[in-house]
Amino acid sequence: MTKTGFFWGEKCFWHSGGNYAGNLPVGGLVQPLAAGGLPENPETKRRLKNLMDVTGLTGALHAQTAPEATREMLSRVHPAAFLDEFKRVSDAGGGELGLRTPFGHGGYEIASLSAGLSVAALEAVLKGNLDNAYALSRPPGHHCLPEYPNGFCLLANLAIAIRHAQATGLAKRLVVLDWDVHHGNGTEAIFIEDPDVLTISLHQERNYPTDTGDADVRGEGAGQGANMNIPLPPGAGHATYLEAMERLVIPAIRAHEPEVIVIACGYDAALIDPLSCMLATADTFRQMTRMVMDLAEDLCGGRLMMAHEGGYSEVYVPFCGHAVLEEMSGAEIHAPDPLAETFAARQPSNHMVAVFSDLITDLRDFFDVK
């Protein structure tokens, strides 16, 4: 069986924040929720870990925690003024520095732990201690800009891990594949001029942020051509995700020839997620994982690392995550998808799949994918 690491920390479940009802601040006509707060709450990730414990999958993995990312690690991505202010507000009881990124007392340390899980997971894979690894990071990171947290993300977890790997000589050329349903604007911005880091974002068009994620953003300066945005229309579904992977993502990664593949693994493209209109299933994530694993085996000795990003269905995220980790590890421990039959019946018609396929053909021509 594959030697798969699972990096997690109990304190990541303790991250908490402000007075929201969904994405809206409470006040005026916006009423508090009984079990309220942001959609980004601990239960999706906690319930994934719980499901893994109950099925026995946790015991089949190399489960471990990691130290907080150090100031030196954080400073490779985030300026000192931002880190100082984050720490000051955190120590004073918490607050909010960006857009929809509230945090409580100790939020700085919890976010540093979240980043540290990603750092340790990537480092272990690159050093050969693990074949692949998964970081159950919370708060997430792919929307965080160097000086501005947003979209529930307080620190740029994967970018911090990648810059650490580059700075310590563990890797130079990497790929970040982001299949979270929202555009990975933070990761894009951080690596926009870096030709060694290919960033690919497979997302729902104009979901979040509404002003980023267009296909014509291909990189800047020396990084021109090293950024690929694949905006999919709402309702694209299982078959379209797999087609986009096969015809766009896999050829682009193969051409880049990375030393390791890194995935920003959000599950919010799932059919019943409250923050998207896509129709992916647990099997979608399982099959995308298998495709990337096979590619990593061909290109970079199987080196693959994932960090958990979004996904806001407390019921369904655990089954999606379990499917991904089953595939990563090769474990014969399964958690059957209880909604598989229902979700299969709700996929787009053959006519719509053909329409979406034409869109992928247009993108393939635009990107000049070989």
d(Cα 74, Cα 58) in Å, to the nearest integer? 29
d(Cα 292, Cα 305) in Å, to the nearest integer? 11
d(Cα 339, Cα 341) in Å, to the nearest integer? 6
d(Cα 318, Cα 234) in Å, to the nearest integer? 23
The helix/strand/coil state of 94 is strand
Determine the angle formed by the axes of helices 157-167 and 107-126, rounding to 10 degrees.
50
d(Cα 73, Cα 47) in Å, to the nearest integer? 30
For the record, the structure tokens of 328 come out as 């990563």
The per-residue b/e assignment along 257-275, b for 16 or more CB within 10 angstroms, e otherwise, is: ebbbbbbbbbbbbbbbbeb
For the record, the structure tokens of 308 come out as 């958990």
Select which of 142, 143, 164, 238 is catalytic: 143
Task: Respond yes or no: is residue 143 known to be catalytic.
Answer: yes
Residue 308: name the closest of 50, 114, 73, 155 by CA: 114
Amino acid making up residue 278? M
Max CA separation in the chain (angstroms): 56
User: How many residues in the chain?
Assistant: 370
Q: Catalytic residue numbers?
A: 143
